[in-house]
Structure 1
Amino acid sequence: MKFRSKMWALPASVGVALAVGLALSLTVGVRNNRNLELLRTVETPYLEYLFEAERGVHQLQADFQAAASEGEAERLRDAQASADAVRNALTRARQLDGKGQPAEALVAAFDAYHSAALAATQAMLEHRIGPELVERMNNAQKELAVQTQRSREEAHRTLEARFQNVAQAQRDALTISTVLGVLIVVGLGLGSRAIITSVWNDLGAEPSDAAAAVQRVGSGDLSVHIDVVSQDTSSLIAYIAHMQDNLSDVVTHIRTGAETMADATTRIASENIDLSTRTEEQATALKQTARLMEELATTVRSNYEGGLNANAIVGSARDTALQGGTVVKQVVQTMESINASSKKIGDIIGVIDGIAFQTNILALNAAVEAARAGEQGRGFAVVASEVRNLASRAAAAAKEIKALIVSSVDSVDAGYQLVEQAGSTMDQIVDGVRRAADIMGEITAESAHQSEEIERIKQSIFQMDQVTRQNAELVVKAADAAQSLQQQANAMVEAVSVFKVASASWPALGR
């Protein structure tokens, strides 16, 4: 049950008890008022009407006797007035609640008596009275007396019963009031004890002690020990003590955590500053590296372009060497033919002039080809010159051919050997030029590949430079955040320092 409900339970119980008592009192009072109302409006008027009717009957009898004794018929009018008064009283009695039947009996008995008495009186006045009329009047009078007596006794009994009911109702009201008062007093005592005990168990201590404990906790003093009855775990003071213990633990943990966080944020801020410095140095180094890579890329690009030019020159030289090799092969073949012709010179002396002429032409061609070969064809040019000289002398000294044939053959052999050497040299030159062209092609391709790789490295370094700059900015922001966190941690430490937690000695909060 809620505390407010318990506080309202006692006055509510009193109200319920008073309401029950009031309801019972009202019930008894209504019944008593009903009886009193019946006494006032029915029973008492009924007796009065009966008495009035009885007096009227006596007056009627007196009027009949006076009329009969005095012999005056005029007295019958007085008797009629008395009879009307009796009937009026009985009529009013008959109109009362519950009195209709006895009043009807009285009216019937009175009518019978009035009729018999009027007939007997008139007979007496006329001097013709008979015993039957007198007997009829006497019987009717007796019957009326009996009915009147019966009605009067019944009215008295009813009136007495009504008075007894009123008295009983008063006694019942007194009894109910007494019993209800005792029950209310006992119930209030027991209820008050139960409610006070329950409220005390809910509070666990005096309200002033609970208020003082809450005030101390609210002011930040968590070192006050709150006395709690053993095995009390559900009272207000027990909850306050439990709250204080938990709050003290929380404040202790928060204070420890805040101090630890303050130290950690201090270190983080210092390390962030160092990291920011190192990041800036790294960004500077990356910037220098990017500049050097740009220079290296320019150099490699220049080497690549030079390689392309050299490759073109080597290609041209290779083509020239190939052409020279072809010419040398032709010369070799020619020299072989000359050598063969020289060996058969003795058999073809007759055609020496033609051979000399052809040799001269071949020497001219060889000289031209040697001139084309440049430095590589210089030796061959000498040979070609000698061949021309030989051809000229052969043409000029045809007659001396026989004498010089041996010398000519030897010279041809020497020229053949030189031509073979020149051909071999030309082949080596062609092979060297081809290998140089291949190497230059590989160098050019490798330079192109290096240029592409250096470009990629340059892009990577540029991206690294951007990332490093972003990292530097983030490090600066992290340093600012660490400083802000440090300030917040210090503020938290200052805020928690307001609380005073428990120590070895506990100042007790008395009850």
Structure 2
Amino acid sequence: MNKPATSVTPPPVTQRTRSSAQITVLFVVLILSIILLFANFAYLNTQSNHDKQYIGHAGELRVLSQRIAKNATEAAAGKALAFKLLSDARNDFERRWSYLREGDKSTGLPAAPVAVRDEMEAVRQDWENLRKNTDTILASEQTVLSLHQVAATLAETVPQLQVEYEKVVEILLQSGAPANQVVVAQRQLLLAERILGSVNTVLAGDDTAAQAADAFGRDASRFGQVLEGMLGGNPAIQVTRVEDADARARLAEIAELFQFVAGSVDEILETSPELFRVREAASNIFSLSQTLLDEASHLANSFENLASGRTLDTVGGYVLGLLALASIILIGLVMVRTTHRQLQETAEKNERNQQAIMRLLDEIEELADGDLTVTVSVTEDFTGAIADSINYSVDQLRDLVATINHSAEQVAAAVQDTQNTARQLAKASEHQAEQISEASLAVGDMVESIDRVSAHAYESAKVAERSVAIANKGNEVVHNTINGMDNIREQIQDTAKRIKRLGESSQEIGDIVSLIDDIADQTNILALNAAIQASLAGEAGRGFAVVADEVQRLAERSSSATRQIEALVRTIQADTNEAVISMEQTTAEVVRGARLAQDAGVALAEIEGVSQNLAELIHSISDAAQLQTSSAGQISHTMAVIQQITAQTSAGSGATADSIRHLARMASEMRRSVSGFTLPAPAEPR
């Protein structure tokens, strides 16, 4: 029977659904507000850092503009340190200006915004003009420093010239020199003063600097001509030669001092135009620095105005923060209201459920008494599903009780048939046990016979293994014999080669001995000739005759020894040839012996193979016999087990009969146990 289905209507849209939707919307607003708040904060923080850097760079530009003007003036005045400070200030200004114009990648600073484009353009124009004048000063550093060094040296030298000329004037006055010489000397004092004044005017760089440079050149030239005239006379300029020795000594010292002044004239005249340009550049820088200061101040003020104009973004951050706070408060209110409504709905639902439970308990009281005709009412409460399940269970229980009654009747009928079958099975089991006992005895005899066969096969296998081992050892001995003969053959061949080389060496010795014999013969002939010559010489050749006799006897002994050596060499050659022939015969015999040993090795290898095959066959027979023994043992064990099973089957048949009788009693008790249930009357056939 299938379980009946209950219809469930979908719940309508409730206040809870609307509250959930409101909370979701408020959460979305809260998250968006927080995200926008953090984004606005990050943007404001970044812009604030950029504004600080912009304002800092613009402020430094103002300071650097005045520092450049100060250092430019000092550099034009010849101070060496001012040039380095001017270069550092110029490079620092250029670096910070590039940060404003192009941005700074190291700090992430972008280029200045478009809002300050006009102020940036004004600063750019002033800075380009000021930078050109600054570069002019820096390019003339060596010239300016050199010129001021010359001027400093002149400032020390010219007063010395004046002091020396004053002494010359005193000497001339004391010595009664002509008045024109005294006047000329006094005029030199004035020229020296004018030279020093002209140099200072040139260094000052004012409007009369160019005229002062020309005057310096003329005065220095005039001073040199007069000095030379006083030393050597110069009628062209009406200067007579000074005759006083002391005055001339002073004039010589003045000439040495004036050499530096004369050498500096060309340098001052050549470099003075460049110094004038430096002075002009310093003056331009001074005037431009004030304009650049004003423009940099305007730029800094513009950056500050941009920073103060970002209050709108700050207000936006406050608005987003308030929006997030309002979202949190509204979410809390909606959740409190929803919770209160849910508690009220839960209380009402619990009350309805309690009433439905009481109704269900009242309806199933009769079912507890065994009345299966009861049907529980199905309502729309949560107990409706329980009631539906109870009705389904009652239907199943009705079918079960009816089935039990029917099965109990069938079991009672089948039990009688089973008892008769069990009795017949017990008798057959007893007869089977007797037959199995006889078969077990026969299998035991067969196992003993197979054990004896297996033992004999095992002994045969051991004998075969020993045969294989002996054949293997014989084969190894033959191989060792072959290897030994090969070694002997190689040694004999090597010895034969050595003996052949010995024969060849003895042949060479024979050749040498023949040569010695020839030499001895020639020596003997020479000795005879010498003896003849000595006899012809008479008394004068008697001493030489004695020597010739000794040489002849020595030649005869050498010839005799040579013949003995030659005989020994022939004997050695004969023995060597016989030894070589014997070695070759021995080598041939060794080769034949090795071949015979190799044939014996092949035969032993075949014997070893046959013995190995025989051992394998015997092992196979032994293994098969052992396998048969094991199988026979297993068969014997199996027969014993079957005998035990048969005995157990016989005993089980009796027990089965008892169990069947017990089953009949249980069927009767089962029928009595379900008799307490009341079933509905069966439907009458129409």
- TM-score, with length taken from structure 2: 0.28
| Structure number with bigger Rg | 1
